[in-house]
Chains A and B, each alone.
Chain A
């Protein structure tokens, strides 16, 4: 079975529309984040999150009354499958700055005014403000360093900074677009989501490398042809692989998003978006960048061309 027989699309013909679309999404994302802010998870913002399992079906109103007095402004919502009788309670900031006792007022309040439906299991996450800030800084630092090292690796392997720059640009694009979608759909930026973003840094560059690798191989046999033709052919030659590999991985992470439970929901979403965007950016961002770069070089004196 084959899905495509000898595909021959002109991928690099309509580049400008796609670049414009990408820019639009990224700018919209930046604007959206600037206006509404990203929702950071407890790990990053610092604060308290409790997941309480009640004996019977919990009544959120009653819980709100019981908790409200102790912890005003708490977010209270049911968590996971309804049959699990679970409720998530989030308090802004570690209450009274005390990490070790942050959850107790809530539990005490429930014990006092909602005793008929006792809590049978509690899970909690309490993060002091220092840890949150440190973590946020570290996440950004590591993402940037990861990109930098990939850039260097590809530069060395492909003997040209332009390949590294193109691949890194595409990955950076993927991270930004995924972040934009996370913001649009109001997903929380948790540790797991950061893990998903860092994984994307590793995964979405794969596609780019596969195509560049093919281009490198083609360049060896067809020195006379323009780079644009060679890249377009390489895109077509690897198209089946791109579709199948990303298709299967996409469906696997879609399973994660749908069946992975509450904890992995954000992770799954970031991966689902990231893989789609990663596939797209390889074709419409990374490859055109290489062609565009070479175009600039050719308008300059020939000495500069050797660098490519």
Chain B
């Protein structure tokens, strides 16, 4: 094909021009406009679907659903309460700091539930100051109630709750997008799902290793580097040093010891030196002993902090905590700048996956898995084969039947059916709709409905002929009389299809889409195109009989 014709618009234009010329010289005046109109539309559909299926790595124009090409479909729920609780915890911290700075004595400040916290036992003389602090720092989106006796209740408004939830889900989607991009999946879908607003749909067509994909998506990847105060394999002896419990500004974390099944406990400073947010980049590498590790680079603020803290704490140990578990706790040999290494007992693949999720960032809240669907590639291929086989069988049977039963008019119906399918596939290619296995069933049904339209018209024409009408009048009457019926049957079918669409999960949505497009295409093809064909073939000749 010449390169100019590779451009679909040019290609369409050339074909349409040829058609227009042919129509101008070959057709009667009243048919010309319709021929060009219908023809150019059908050519546009043909151009839209070319090439229909992928070859040599080039994707085809018909998008195949997960059930046909294999892949993964996940529905995840974002635990938005976690993000709300984190916001409340920030608030608690703020109140504690501010009150302490202003010298206000108070009993306690703590989270009540994920959307509120309380401040208790403020000394009577300073209640007014406490109230000022609260009103200054919790102005928009908060509801502050004074309960008397130095007690305050601070609650998020519904609006703020909704905003935080929305933001959390959006952030989770962004993080997932970054992670999925690292997997190198073509055409992934990551979108909000359901009407609760907290579900995310993830579709990964053609993933070859579903287990790996799951691991990468699942990792919360909360990274924190914290200074180690003390460490021991025995929890009790470790706590004895601090009087049996962990001090407020420290925390106890667990890590894997030298022997499997024997944990090591660390008491670390609560405040992290750096966290995942300070990372600029991370990549998998190997250390001098050829053991896999993850090397990271910090952003400027992170690097400043890291430099200061490591400089101040040379000789101390720094715990690298991943998702709440100590991966390793190397000793700080000297001041470190903007680059560091996470060592642990990683395999090369683990190091690679860890670097990927660190690059993509942590999730704002954890995810709950609601649904998972994986389809192997060969199962998908089998489905395509049987689906195409069933459609071909149906199509072949209908073609033979229509030709036998309606003779030459049957040919008209077959042409209309072909046009119907062409429009349906063209519309699907153009709107990038997905063809699923139930969608193939939808195409077969479309063929059935298309035949019905033709049969309705043909039977009516036969009836008109039986009642002694001339051929031309019989055709005109036949088409006119069934118009209302066709409109009503298609409208009710469209109503059902619209509700099917609401059902909304992958394959069924694909089915609804094909049904809707098929029904609309059918009105055009089996009614208008078919009518045009009759008028064209009959021409100006005086016909006495009609092959029907």
Interface residue ranges, A against B (CB under 8 Å): 1-2, 51, 53, 80, 84, 86, 98-100, 102, 121-128, 130-131, 135, 138-139, 142-143, 145-146, 149-150, 153-154, 157, 191-192, 194-195, 198-199, 201-203, 205-206, 209-210, 213-214, 217, 237-238, 240-241, 244-245, 248-249, 251-253, 255-256, 258-261, 263-264, 267-268, 271
Contact = CB atoms under 8 A, between A and B. Distances in A.
A173 to B, nearest CB: 16
A264 B378 contact: no
Contact of A259 (B210, B375, B393, B449): B393
A192 B492 contact: no
Given A146-B499, A267-B438, A249 B492 contact: no
4 closest A-B pairs (Cβ-Cβ)?
Answer: A202-B496, A261-B386, A249-B448, A252-B394
Interface in B345-376: 368-376
Given A191-B507, A203-B493, A260 B387 contact: yes
Nearest to A1: B405
B237 to A, nearest CB: 35
Contacts of B495: 146, 149-150, 153, 202
B5 interface: no
B492 A199 contact: no
Contacts of A267: 438, 441
A252 B399 CA distance: 11
Contact of A264 (B214, B390, B491): B390
B401 interface: yes
A256 B394 contact: yes
A123 B401 contact: no
B448 A1 contact: no
Q: Which of B442, B485, B508, B512 has the most CB of A within 10 A?
A: B485
B445 A249 contact: yes
A122 B485 contact: no
A124 B372 contact: yes
Contact of A122 (B218, B376, B405, B496): B376
A248 B451 contact: yes
Interface residues of chain B: helix, strand, loop or mixed (majority): helix
Interface string B416-447: 00000000000000000000011001101101
Given A198-B499, A244-B455, A253-B445, A217 B508 contact: no
Contacts of A240: 459
Contacts of A205: 489, 492-493, 496
Interface string B199-221: 00000000000100010001000
Contact of A51 (B379, B456, B499, B512): B379
Contacts of A192: 438, 441, 507-508
A202 B497 contact: yes
Given A195-B500, A252-B448, A255-B394, A99 B371 contact: yes
A199 B496 contact: yes
B283 to A, nearest CB: 27
A260 B441 contact: yes
A241 B371 contact: no
Given A127-B371, A138-B503, A153-B495, A263 B508 contact: no
B211 to A, nearest CB: 8
Interface residues of B, number: 72
Nearest to B460: A241
B93 interface: no
B386 A126 contact: no
A201 B386 contact: no
Contacts of B445: 199, 203, 249, 252-253, 271
A150 B493 CA distance: 9
B30 to A, nearest CB: 28
Given A241-B455, A251-B394, A252-B444, A100 B500 contact: no
A264 B393 CA distance: 15
Given A126-B372, A237-B463, A256-B394, A146 B496 contact: yes
Contact of A263 (B67, B370, B371): B67
Interface in B389-423: 389-391, 393-394, 397-398, 401, 404-405, 407
A203 B397 CA distance: 20
B386 A259 contact: yes
12 contacts: A125-B373, A127-B372, A142-B500, A199-B442, A203-B496, A205-B489, A205-B492, A213-B484, A248-B452, A256-B441, A261-B387, A271-B441
Interface string B307-330: 000000000000000000000000
Contact of B382 (A1, A102, A194, A261): A261
Contact of B496 (A86, A150, A191): A150
Given A142-B500, A202-B497, A80 B382 contact: yes
B382 to A, nearest CB: 6
B496 A261 contact: no
Nearest to A152: B495
A214 B484 CA distance: 10
Given A123-B376, A203-B445, A252-B394, A263 B383 contact: yes
Given A121-B376, A127-B371, A264 B507 contact: no
Contacts of B12: none
B438 A139 contact: no
B158 interface: no
Given A86-B379, A100-B214, A199-B500, 15 more contacts: A121-B376, A123-B375, A124-B372, A128-B371, A191-B503, A194-B503, A199-B496, A201-B496, A202-B494, A202-B515, A248-B452, A252-B398, A252-B447, A255-B444, A261-B387
Interface string B133-170: 00000000000000000000000000000000000000
B511 interface: yes
A53 B376 contact: yes
Contacts of B390: 255-256, 258-260, 264
Interface in B510-530: 511-512, 515
Given A139-B503, A142-B503, A209 B492 contact: yes
B377 interface: yes
A102 B218 CA distance: 14
Nearest to B396: A255
Contacts of A259: 386, 389-390, 393
Contact of A206 (B370, B397, B492, B499): B492
Nearest to A244: B455
